[in-house]
Amino acid sequence: MVHLPFADREEAGRLLAEEFSLRKIAPDAVVLALTRGGVPVGFEVADRLHLPLDVIVARKLGVPWQPELAMGAIAGTARFLDDRMIQGLGISDEDVEKIVVREQAEMRRREELYRGGKLAPDLHGRSAIVIDDGLATGSTMLAAVRHCRSLKPAKVTIGVPVGSEEGVARLRNQVDELVCLATPEFFSAVGEWYRDFQQVDDAEVQNLLAESRRRFRKHTAAPVVA
């Protein structure tokens, strides 16, 4: 049984990694963490399972006058728009496109920064484990999964420490497997289920990716023959 709240993303990641370690994981699987908050969680999962870690840069599309309220999300070439919300709030197509263009520019900036010129992993025929620090509405994860699906993986699994019942229900039929440690009945925001939910910055993402690559290389290195 998981006791909420989690101390921080690292503890949540270790607990999620323990759950994954009880399951059959393909040896060619790749852990893909949503930036930025999903990266410390994904780091722990990748480290425990001895898998490579990469990122999916997904960006929320916020309502123009209330940016924290998601009207959709983008990731890679994938886009998800909550048409019902957009129409209900009277948001024009022009305003939606302005926000999409702005977020696409930020998405490209982050991808270049985090990868440092390295190519994204080839997911064709492989298993992808998509990690975030939680699911609220599920909009950002949905865009990430659609992007992931476009790369033709053999299997897509979502892993999150905590999620709303709504978010989990929305995503469950979009993937082959969904692992969520806790779905509290009263859910307003992911951060309420963490004692420490400080913002993850670009430097931390870069450092965790570099350390994960170092550990993966060390684990997969051929043994020295005397």
**pLDDT tens-digit map of 179-197:** 999 999 999 999 999 999 9
| Residue 177 lies inside a defined structural domain of this protein | yes
**Count: domains in the chain:** 1
Q: How far apart are the first and last CA of the chain?
A: 47
d(CA 27, CA 8): 28
| Residue 141 lies inside a defined structural domain of this protein | yes
What residue numbers bound the domain in which 152 lies?
9-57+122-216
What's the pTM? 0.94
Tokens 């989690």 correspond to 6
pLDDT for the residue 119: 87
| Residue 111 lies inside a defined structural domain of this protein | no
| Residue 206 lies inside a defined structural domain of this protein | yes
| Residue 3 lies inside a defined structural domain of this protein | no
155-162/30-34 β-pairing: unpaired
Bridge partner residues of 135 (DSSP): 163
d(CA 97, CA 162): 31
The CATH number for 198's domain is: 3.40.50.2020
**pLDDT tens-digit map of 101-144:** 999 999 999 999 998 888 899 999 999 999 999 999 899 999 99
| Residue 104 lies inside a defined structural domain of this protein | no
**pLDDT tens-digit map of 54-71:** 999 999 999 999 988 889
| Residue 101 lies inside a defined structural domain of this protein | no
| Residue 169 lies inside a defined structural domain of this protein | yes
d(CA 27, CA 207): 25
